[in-house]
Amino acid sequence: MARESGCILCQKPSENNDEANFILYRGKHGFIILNAFPYNPGHLMVAPYRHIANLEELRAEEAMELFDIVKKGLGLLKEVMKPTGFNIGLNIGKVAGAGIAEHLHTHIVPRWQGDTNFMPVLSDTKVVSEAVGGTYKKLKAKL
């Protein structure tokens, strides 16, 4: 799958094709989308609809709802994927590792004991054991 140009976190919600774009949930101010290039199966991103790059630009109502959406994503992953841990975070700025630096988003990465292997170390390749489309269908069925 080739990476797209432009802001996918603006483009995907505007297309109103949630299944094809892996959008799991829509709130008033933000949404949950599966990462098309996941670190692990079930890797979610929570983003505001508004195109902003910095956390301090969030309005109070956006910040509260986005945190609630992160909690919703956690609950969904716990129920469906049954991970034993999570990495949750924001990479703000390209130097901090943000792949989409111009649009604020929170990553929710489910983790399991032993979920890493030799591939990232030897060949800078990550093996993901489940297709994103399959993960989408499992998660969407529980919402």
Q: Quick: pLDDT tens for 10-36.
A: 999 999 899 999 999 999 999 999 999
Q: How far apart are CA 135 and CA 81, in angstroms?
A: 9
For tokens 């649009």, the residue is 103
β-sheet bridge partners, residue 107: 45, 89
Instruction: Catalogue the E-assigned strands of 1-132.
Output: 23-26, 30-34, 44-48, 85-89, 106-111
pLDDT at 62: 98
pLDDT at 139 over 80: yes
For residue 58, CA distances in Å to 11, 52, 54, 55, 104 come to 19, 8, 8, 6, 9
Mean pLDDT (whole number) for 127-136: 79
When pLDDT is cut at 50, 70 and 90, the band that residue 119 belongs to is: very low
pLDDT of the residue at 130: 77
Does residue 3 carry a pLDDT above 60? no
Class in CATH terms, 8-140: alpha beta
In the residue annotation, 103 being an active-site residue is answered as: no
Answer yes or no: are the C-beta atoms of 11 and 4 closer than 8 Å.
yes
Average pLDDT over residues 42-60: 97
| Domain edges within the chain | 8-140
Candidates 29, 43, 103, 105; catalytic one: 105
